[in-house]
Amino acid sequence: MRRHSKASGKSAKGQQRRTLKRRNTAKAVIRRSSSADSQDTKVAVLTRERDEALEQLAATSGILGVIRRSPTNAQPVFDAICGSASRLCEEVFSVVWRYDGNLLQVSIL
């Protein structure tokens, strides 16, 4: 024998099913919004990684250009490395130490 609710006279089992459908609908909406947030986060991460890779390529290109212009003098190359390192790391200055066998040379930028 089925139980009837006191308020409407319908079976209590049928009312329970409607309540479950409403709960599942709310969860689906929550899942969709978290999925969209997750995609936005992934896009932001990938954009940042792309920008960092482009900065590294530009720094490498600059250093190679300095090497090409002064193949016999190493000091401008180390200065370019020092400048690129401080830009890529977003630091105020950087230091490169170079030991030539007798002396310790310092490049600060």
Condensed to tens digits (0 to 9), the pLDDT of residues 62-76 reads 999 999 998 888 888
**What is the DSSP secondary structure assignment for residue 71, as one 8-state letter?**
S
Q: Which residue type sits at 9?
A: G
| Nearest-angstrom CA–CA distance, 10 and 41 | 47
Tens-place pLDDT, residues 4-36: 555 555 555 555 555 555 555 555 555 555 677
CA–CA separation, 100 and 56 (whole Å): 27
Residues 6+ apart with CB under 8 A from 77: 63, 66, 67, 70
Return mean pLDDT, the chain: 78
Mean pLDDT of 36-43: 84
